[in-house]
Structure 1
Amino acid sequence: MAEEGKQTCYEGSSVQSFQFYLEHSGEHKAILKCAHDVLPGEWQRIAAGKSSLDVLGVGSGGGEVDTQMLTLLQSTFPAFPITADIVEGSVALTDNFKALVAKTPDLQKIKYGWHIMGSEDYEKQVKAKGDMKKFDFIHMIQMIYYVDNLSNTIKFYHSLLKSNGRLMIIVEAADGGWDKLWKTYKKDLCVHAITEYRSSGEVIACLKNQGLKYEEHVIPNTFDITECFDPSSQTGTRLLNFMTARDQFYTSFTPEIRAGILDLLRNKCSIEKDGRVFFNSNLSCILIHA
């Protein structure tokens, strides 16, 4: 993933921007609700006939979702030894993940393998070593945008599944607000870390092309972007910075592009309720069978 000079993970100011977005969007809460609804049943199927479980998180960020899922996994199988390999390119976010583990005694019983690198570098390393550790459950949450080759990435991680394993990809939903924004303004937005925007539509087309069996679960989510339409609002500006992957929304685009983005956000990507504007940030949870 990490070619020289290409930012493929959150570092520096982008870590703060990402954390600010998470505080305002409710995204992790929505993902965790889906995890609690869907995963225990999936894990029962995965674990049938097994006595231990190996998990791989790819692009795990600060571990806020991973630690919750690992806690849920432990409570589902209290007697099972569990290992968790974590692939994350950001040092700051990996440190955050380790700090969460350090605060949770039960999570310290899990054996961790930390791989501070991008997903494609991990793939190269695994192939170079020729020692492919296989996993019962692999998850890639909100990271598929950053890989160079979607098809190859899915093929590789699918190849790491043990019998009965599952690969879970969580990505923005096709035709959601993010999909409309990033595809309408592709040439203006897909110029830095994300060079090709993908939603669940692209992922599912790829799975069908590879003949893989999967199920899709919608993760409903909206968040309030009313302040994005007030140029004097610091909150609105910071949200716009994150949503367009820029440090400065108001100086990064021409007045025409800015006006077009704001019009699209209000009229095509959101609904208005009680004078507030709520952005459609639905996600898709795709569970791929081994």
Structure 2
Amino acid sequence: MDTKSLPSLFNDPGHYVKAFKVFCARSAKFRTYSDWVDGVFSEPVVGKLQATVDGREELRVLGVGSGSGEMDCAMLEKLKRRFPRINNRVVEPSCELLGQYKALAQSKAHELQGVECDFRQQKLEQYEKAGDATKFHFISAVHCMYHLDDYDSSLEYLYNCLIPGGAILVIHLSENSGLCRYRERFPCFQPSDHNYSTSADIRSSLDRRGIPYTQHPYPVRLDITKCFDQASEEGGLLVDFLTNVLNYRKTAPEDMQRTVMECLGSSLCSESKNDGIYLNMDWDAIVISKPQH
């Protein structure tokens, strides 16, 4: 399937942001994160750290590719209940997203009292090259491994940044998700600067190094019902986001559109319930532990 002549969604940042907002709304992205932090995050991560860190010690946290900070701030609020002093270093390459994170942290100043933020507008590779020797108790990498040049070596680097007894949280798309199957069916839509790895690739990297971890699956669904309504502007934006094509409905050939929509709506990728169609976007939370010596 030839998509080279189709305009990339990334060529129009404004349109991309509009499409991304629809994606977030239809997947209840930030509510999903909040629910997960309130539930699964507590014992595998917070409980483990509490057994490791001296209560008088400042907890050192590193956020990698933290975006606009919703997930990080939710985790920091949970950590804050056990650790009164937290140094939170954030490594995020996007100036716009970093600005949104700063604004969010400022709006939550009361909830995050005792948290000192250190924002760095860098790619992880740039941060590593700078040679900072700081070691961390907790490192979060939430849906960011896709954007790294080499997630395998980056995982090893982050593991080396942990103190003994520390933990890394990697959240990544499950290899069993419908979104993964869709991407395998249409690799032509994936931008060249993304590695479309899955949680199976992350686990394989850790297994090769003998690094211990636990995996916690989490079900996520994206409401794609409006994608099948040609009159829906919201549906059009969501299709743009899923194909990474600007104005996909206007620019892609009809036979291509038909093939893609048949795949997205099939049981291979989605489930139908209550007159809606929901794309399976299950992700896995992998908690990596560094043994104490």
CA distance in 1, matches of 2:16, 2:285: 25
Select 1:33's aligned residue among 21, 32, 35.
35
Offset at 1:13?
Answer: 4.0
Percent of aligned positions that are identical: 26
Q: Is the 8 A contact 2:89 2:120 kept in 1?
A: yes
Offset at 1:212?
Answer: 1.1
CA RMSD of aligned residues (A): 2.0
Q: What TM-score does the superposition give when structure 2 sets the normalisation length?
A: 0.87
Select 1:124's aligned residue among 124, 129, 133.
129
Q: Is the 8 A contact 2:219 2:282 kept in 1?
A: yes
Deviations 1:13-36 (A, max 9, x none): 433432331122112222222222
CA distance in 1, matches of 2:167, 2:27: 28
Aligned to 1:4: none
Gap change, CA 1:201 and 1:256, over 3 Å in 2:
farther
Unaligned 5+ segments in structure 1 are 1-6
Offset at 1:271?
Answer: 0.6
Deviations 1:223-261 (A, max 9, x none): 211110122211111111112223222245443332222
Q: Output aligned runs, 1:173-252, within 5 Å.
A: 173-186=174-187, 188-194=188-194, 196-251=195-250
Q: Output aligned runs, 1:44-193, within 5 Å.
A: 44-48=47-51, 49-50=53-54, 51-77=57-83, 80-106=84-110, 107-125=112-130, 127=131, 131-186=132-187, 188-193=188-193
Q: Is the 8 A contact 2:183 2:190 kept in 1?
A: yes
Q: What TM-score does the superposition give when structure 1 sets the normalisation length?
A: 0.88
Offset at 1:262?
Answer: 0.8
The farther-off stretch of 84-93 and 48-57 is: 48-57
Q: Is the 8 A contact 2:225 2:276 kept in 1?
A: yes
Unaligned 5+ segments in structure 2 are 1-8
Count of matched residue pairs: 275
Gap change, CA 1:52 and 1:140, over 3 Å in 2:
same
Q: SS of the residue aligned with 1:54?
A: strand
Which consecutive aligned stretches of 4+ in structure 1 deviate over 6 angstroms post-superposition? none
CA distance in 2, matches of 1:252, 1:103: 41
Deviations 1:111-154 (A, max 9, x none): 111111222222222x3xxx311111101111111111121111
Q: SS of the residue aligned with 2:146?
A: helix
Gap change, CA 1:281 and 1:203, over 3 Å in 2:
same
